[in-house]
Amino acid sequence: MQRPLLAITISVLAVIATFGGLAFVSAAPHSSKASQHPEGDWRILDPVTYENISIFPVVSGSSQDTSSFLTLEEGLASGEVIVSERGATGMVRHRGEVRPIAVPQYDTGASVNQLVLINRSKRPLLLLAGELVSGGKQDRIIGKDRIVPVGAEPLPLDVFCVEHGRWVGSSSQFSASKTIVHPSVREQAAVEQKQAEVWAAVAGGSTAKARSSVALSAPAPRLSTDALADTISSEAPTQSYRKIYEGTRIGGSVDTFVDQLQRRFARATSGLKGERVVGVVVAYGGEVAWSDIFASSDLFHQYWSKLLRSYAVEALARPTLRETTSIDDAREFLHRPNGREVQETEAGVYRWREITEGPLALIELDALQPKPMTLHRLLLHRTS
């Protein structure tokens, strides 16, 4: 049994159980002076605003070295990472190798909520909840942030399906999709962890509801449920995420929205001196709803185009309220929640923690090697 590399203070009541090399810690509410202030060497810039979305760039004068980590998109594109259906048989040739390798067979059948991942690279692999892989019997998204170390055994990978209706495929292998699902779907996977709710969010757009005080007067979303239903019936009968949100009818609206945001964001962050963008805080209408922050600017930019598109889809699926959010609200949102904390660790590899307080949920992924650092920090205002 591996012992988790966790420091547990006397104020924490913890129950520790080990399963599959991972240690889980369920803790009492988190409390520290640090919880009263935003963490990290961060500064929030004025928002980039377009229609009903405001994106606050988060910049830092310092940055970690994250070059030793491999992203899922890089790994799948190079062939260094292999993702396949559980129970798949066959041989896969790794780029640059003469001999193909066997895909492990855990049992005789595929599973909706579990795939098999092999990391054959010489770098630890970073996985983010909400990343989409295409292929197999159904398209899936990664269910939780984690790190897969170099030389790891083939990993049973927890996932959620985002293609309701298809269970066939010409190949058991998956490829990079260059897509992160929008926040309403990411929330259902990363926090709620319910397959039925993931499917509902894919087909229904946003799970957020207009506040009661403005619900009656709120303008309808540009991506209405009727438009999504029409797209599903005409372009994506299997309810494939990519076909719904990147298809002709809806994808064009998203592209236009993204282009506007990208130009404004680039202009707002072009004159930085001694600082670089490491993340964003996102608000819809007058509500601060989401934040993704990374250990380095390089890592942020590797995910930025996919994240921006995901934020745009969410904006189009929410009521088109033109309220604005203040920079003080964005700063306040970054304060660390003071609530129930759950941790999971793989000794010497990573530590994952979730802190929930009321509607807020904070998820942090710490790398433990080559040196400790928080690779990704996700903070969200839950919609369900």
Numbers of helices and strands, H then E, in the chain:
8, 22
Within this chain, do residues 197 and 341 fall inside the same structural domain, yes or no? yes
Provide CB contacts within 8 A for 349, sequence distance 6+: 124, 147, 149, 367, 368, 369
Within this chain, do residues 203 and 190 fall inside the same structural domain, yes or no? yes
Q: Does residue 173 register a pLDDT over 60? A: yes
Within this chain, do residues 295 and 361 fall inside the same structural domain, yes or no? yes
- Highest mean pLDDT, choosing among 6-15, 156-165, 181-190, 319-328: 181-190
Q: Does residue 97 sit within a domain?
A: yes
Q: Does residue 132 sit within a domain?
A: yes
* Cα gap 335→90, rounded to integer Å: 49
* Cα gap 18→3, rounded to integer Å: 8
Within this chain, do residues 131 and 263 fall inside the same structural domain, yes or no? no
Within this chain, do residues 59 and 190 fall inside the same structural domain, yes or no? yes
Q: Does residue 348 sit within a domain?
A: yes
Within this chain, do residues 159 and 213 fall inside the same structural domain, yes or no? no
Q: Does residue 77 sit within a domain?
A: yes
Helix (H) or strand (E) holding 315: helix 297-317
* Cα gap 355→378, rounded to integer Å: 11
Within this chain, do residues 300 and 349 fall inside the same structural domain, yes or no? yes
Within this chain, do residues 91 and 75 fall inside the same structural domain, yes or no? yes
Which among 159, 180, 201 is the end of a domain?
180
Tens digits of per-residue pLDDT, 241-291? Answer: 888 888 777 888 899 999 999 999 999 999 899 999 999 999 998 899 999
Within this chain, do residues 211 and 341 fall inside the same structural domain, yes or no? yes
Within this chain, do residues 196 and 265 fall inside the same structural domain, yes or no? yes
Could you tell me if 362 and 355 are in contact, meaning their C-beta atoms sit under 8 angstroms apart?
yes
Identify the residue with better confidence: 361 or 248.
Answer: 361
Closest to 139 (Cα-Cα) out of 88, 176, 184: 176
Within this chain, do residues 364 and 290 fall inside the same structural domain, yes or no? yes
Q: Does residue 251 sit within a domain?
A: yes
Q: How many domains does the chain have?
A: 2
- Tokens 């969410």, residue located: 314
Q: Of 45-49, 81-85, 213-217, which range is least confident? A: 213-217
The residue segments making up the domain with residue 81 are 70-180
